[in-house]
A = this chain, B = another copy of it.
């Protein structure tokens, strides 16, 4: 192993600094993954971290290392989400002024949370990249210290404290799977795990997971240097970073065993499974490691820990993911049923649905649908069902009574 600019000693120092600010988050046994993979698997719950993500670790350690003169000038950061809250919270804890540039249209809960931690929030710019440029200008103009979301040795050392906690709580760990955006989190974790493993003569595998839509590491690792990729649309906004950092890239290249990618459906399925089965709220980026394990993209090997990096999901997005998941698994179906316009038709349909045990959730009864004769009405009805077979039963029952249902979503 070559010498790196982040060492185990720095991470141990960060661990001391974080006491009383960041929490030692719990490890939760993952029954579902354990069964699926055939190796004892657990999850490190950084979604239960203060501010809802691991970001306060790096931010706090970075801020703690500023000189008194720098502290007096305050800090500035650009972020649409977790880094904003991490920096705002850390600055508040240390009594420093923080200015956060957030893009226009950033999710309301994240805006409110960042303001709630006492930061001055400026919403400007269409993308995080534009915000970064604006933040750099702000730093130049005011003298505030720019806090990069991942590409700084102190930030990396702060995130590395998670590696120490994993070793403490799962001493026999052999594989750790980590979501990857810019690479700050996995770099720090890998330094901690690999160095402890080296000193104790064992092997710990570190695997990174990116969202396929914006995955800069696979091509960068292939090229041997950071490569900029195009930003693709992904629900995993927290890890949609178009280029590895100058500090993080060498660490990932040298210390991470493998980086795999997951697609949008994998992420959505993981979020829903974590919500329904594991009772955890996890943002799509935070669920990347679990998604990769669920989809069988990582060969199981020894006791495994999946890092859940954050839980800050916009409730409106969560609603959409749950709805999508219910539809996809045959547990919710919307039907459009043309009805002859005479009394009693709605009652008849309701009876048929009740007869086959489909719970009616929503009904929309409209007239004058395009393409229908003047007197016809269309009934749009959403029902809760027990799965695809049950949906077929529902359709058969309606057809058997001479209705002609069309599945509007299933």
Contact = CB atoms under 8 A, between A and B. Distances in A.
A284 B112 CA distance: 26
A161 B26 CA distance: 19
B23 A26 contact: no
Interface string A360-397: 01000011100000000000000011110000000000
Interface string A293-327: 00000000000000000010001101100110110
Contacts of A163: none
Contacts of A257: none
Please give the count of copies of this chain that the complex contains: 2
Nearest to A105: B359
A322 B281 CA distance: 13
A279 B276 contact: no
A315 B275 CA distance: 9
A197 interface: no
Contact of A50 (B31, B315, B361): B31
A322 B315 contact: yes
Contacts of A104: 357
B48 A279 contact: yes
A29 interface: yes
Contacts of A278: 48
A189 B320 CA distance: 39
A359 B105 CA distance: 8
A111 interface: yes
Main SS of chain A's interface residues? mixed
A278 B281 CA distance: 8
Interface in A266-301: 275-282
A318 B319 CA distance: 9
Interface string A312-345: 0001101100110110000110000000000000
A323 B319 contact: yes
Contacts of A280: 48, 279-281
Contact of A315 (B105, B316, B326): B326
Interface residues of A, number: 46
A366 B384 CA distance: 26
Contacts of A322: 315, 318-319
A367 B23 CA distance: 55
Contact of A386 (B23, B28, B108): B108
A78 B28 CA distance: 30
Contacts of A361: 316
A27 interface: yes
A95 interface: no
Contact of A48 (B23, B28, B332, B366): B28
A233 interface: no
A279 B52 contact: yes
Contacts of A367: 368
A109 B109 CA distance: 29
A47 interface: yes
Contacts of A331: 108-109
Ordered nearest first, which 7 A-B pairs have the shortest CB separation?
A279-B311, A26-B26, A279-B281, A47-B279, A108-B386, A315-B322, A28-B48
23 contacts: A23-B29, A26-B27, A26-B45, A28-B48, A31-B50, A47-B279, A48-B279, A52-B277, A108-B384, A108-B386, A109-B331, A111-B386, A112-B386, A112-B387, A275-B281, A279-B282, A281-B281, A315-B325, A316-B326, A316-B384, A318-B322, A319-B322, A368-B368
